[in-house]
Amino acid sequence: MFELGDILNDLFLERLNYLIYVVLLMIGLHAMIAKNNLIKKLIGMSIFQTAIILFYVSIGVKADATIPIYLPEHDPHGERAEEAGGPVALSVTEVAGYANPLPHVLMLTAIVVGVATLGLALALTQRIYQGYGTIEEDQLLVKLEREDGRTRKDEQPVPDATKSKSTKKTPTKRASKPASKKK
């Protein structure tokens, strides 16, 4: 009924682009989760994002479709519209020949947002390196815990027993001598 060659052809060769996207997604996800270096995590995030963008662009591809710019014969506002007495809607067969621009436009926006996010993340990583001297996650967490421990020690309240020793005694007022009467 089914031949092995047909199944492999259907699963892998016709859908090779989807297999590549899944592999790219897994590489990016692995880099974001398993790596300790912040730069490597950002590279993984970029690979992951690229795979998603490629996936959505490939969904928007339509065989034998043209860009969604009206051809002269399809222009509902041109000569044909004037002859018909006003704007004419395109027929279903005319519309079917155009590719949907929405996935491509959305992915163009995603690319811009991704570049901005990556730029901000790289700037933050550079600032972390300047402040802590490392971009390795393990070393950074150790340094942050040490710093947090130091600030907690500084913020601890002083016990009451030590307060009484450290506080200065206020001089007590001496009983005033009666003022001598002037004669």
Which of 47, 52, 66 has the alpha carbon at shortest distance from 107? 52
The answer to whether 53 touches 110, Cβ cutoff 8 Å, is: yes
In angstroms, how far is the first alpha carbon of the chain from the final one?
138
Q: What was the pLDDT predicted at 160?
A: 61
Map out the domains of the chain as residue ranges.
Answer: 4-87+98-142
Distances (CA, A) of 24 to 39, 48, 138: 18, 6, 26
Architecture of domain 4-87+98-142: Orthogonal Bundle (1.10)
d(CA 175, CA 171) in angstroms, rounded, equals 12
List the chain pLDDT tens, one digit each, 183 residues.
456 667 777 777 778 888 899 999 999 999 999 999 999 999 999 999 999 999 998 888 888 887 777 666 556 666 666 666 665 666 788 778 888 888 889 999 999 999 999 999 999 999 999 999 999 999 999 999 998 888 888 777 656 655 555 555 555 555 555 555 554
Write the Ramachandran bin of 54: left for phi over 0, alpha for psi from -120 to 50, otherwise beta.
alpha
Model pTM greater than 0.75? no
The answer to whether 60 touches 103, Cβ cutoff 8 Å, is: yes
Q: What was the pLDDT predicted at 141?
A: 93
Helices then strands, counting H and E runs in the chain, come out as 8, 0
